[in-house]
Amino acid sequence: MDNDNNLWQGLKQGDKEMFLALYRKYYHTLLFIGLKEMKDAHLVKDIIQQLFLYLWEKRETIQDARDVKSYLITSFLRKLTADWKKSKQSGLLEVVWSSYPEDPQPNPEEKLIRKDEQSHLFQLLRDHINELPNRQKELIILKFYEGLSYQDIVQRTGLSHRTVYNKIHEGLKKLKLGIAQSRQPRSAALISLLNVLASAATIAMAQKY
């Protein structure tokens, strides 16, 4: 911890060697965490670079970090999430996160545990989606994984709004039935997630009319 504080103070004072030492110390830790959240290694590495570039550019104004490791992890995850949203790759993940109540001020370790749990649900659901008929699978992925609007999906597929909605709704119902029958340990959590998605899909369709 003392070494981290020394490196942090060195960064703030413009010591390039201290800055590079901090970067080397936590690069692989952040890379490991990032690759657990998403499989795009290029994007994860880019976010790490952006984070440390930001720290260097703002070194004269950044505040002291009580826990340097926690500060870096929290900042990295926040930036990674923001980039997901910009690239519209987090449509479903945003719904997942918003469906789980958070403590008023969870510590960084609790945040990591929660995100790991949610990412696990995300992957479990994707496995079930892959078992759907091709058209239902395609539309659900476009809507909740790529974050497309109904209008965007209509333009991409040539289907009507009503057909797109019906196929997505049928797919979600089929997923709920299949998950319930599987009786796997996370069935209740997955079904709860699907209920959230079904509600979101219905609201989005209602706003169309």
| pLDDT confidence band for 7 (50 / 70 / 90) | very high
Share of the chain above pLDDT 90, in %: 19
CB atoms within 10 A of CB 69: 15
**CB-based contacts of 155, cutoff 8 Å, min separation 6:** none
Instruction: Scan for tokens 């289907």, then name that residue.
Output: 159
Q: Which of 117, 88, 95 lies closest to 185, judged by CA?
A: 117
Determine the average pLDDT of the residues in 176-199. 76
Of residues 111 and 3, the one with the higher pLDDT is: 3
Q: Which of 101, 92, 150, 76 lies closest to 124, judged by CA?
A: 92
| pLDDT confidence band for 30 (50 / 70 / 90) | very high
What amino acid is encoded at 184 in this protein? Q
The answer to whether residues 36 and 113 belong to one domain is no
What was the pLDDT predicted at 135? 93
Of residues 92 and 49, the one with the higher pLDDT is: 49
Determine the average pLDDT of the residues in 6-17. 92
**CB-based contacts of 32, cutoff 8 Å, min separation 6:** none
Q: Which of 31, 53, 87 is the last residue of a domain?
A: 87
Half-sphere exposure of 148 (CA within 13 A, CB side): 19
* Nearest-angstrom CA–CA distance, 44 and 28: 11
| pLDDT confidence band for 104 (50 / 70 / 90) | very low
The answer to whether residues 51 and 137 belong to one domain is no
Q: Please check whether residue 102 lies inside any domain of the structure.
A: no
Q: Write out the residue range of the structural domain in which residue 69 sits.
A: 2-87
Q: Please check whether residue 27 lies inside any domain of the structure.
A: yes
Lowest pLDDT segment from 13-27, 138-152, 161-175, 181-195: 181-195
Domain count, the chain: 2
Q: Is the pLDDT of residue 25 over 80?
A: yes
* Nearest-angstrom CA–CA distance, 165 and 151: 11
The answer to whether residues 76 and 140 belong to one domain is no
The answer to whether residues 82 and 117 belong to one domain is no
Sign of CA dihedral 148, 111, 23, 33: negative
Q: Please check whether residue 92 lies inside any domain of the structure.
A: no
Q: Is the pLDDT of residue 50 over 70?
A: yes
What was the pLDDT predicted at 68? 92
The answer to whether residues 47 and 135 belong to one domain is no
Cβ contact 208:154 at 8 Å: no
* CATH number of the domain within which 198 lies: 1.10.10
Q: Is the pLDDT of residue 100 over 90?
A: no
CB atoms within 10 A of CB 137: 17
Phi, psi of 124 (to 5 degrees): -60, -45
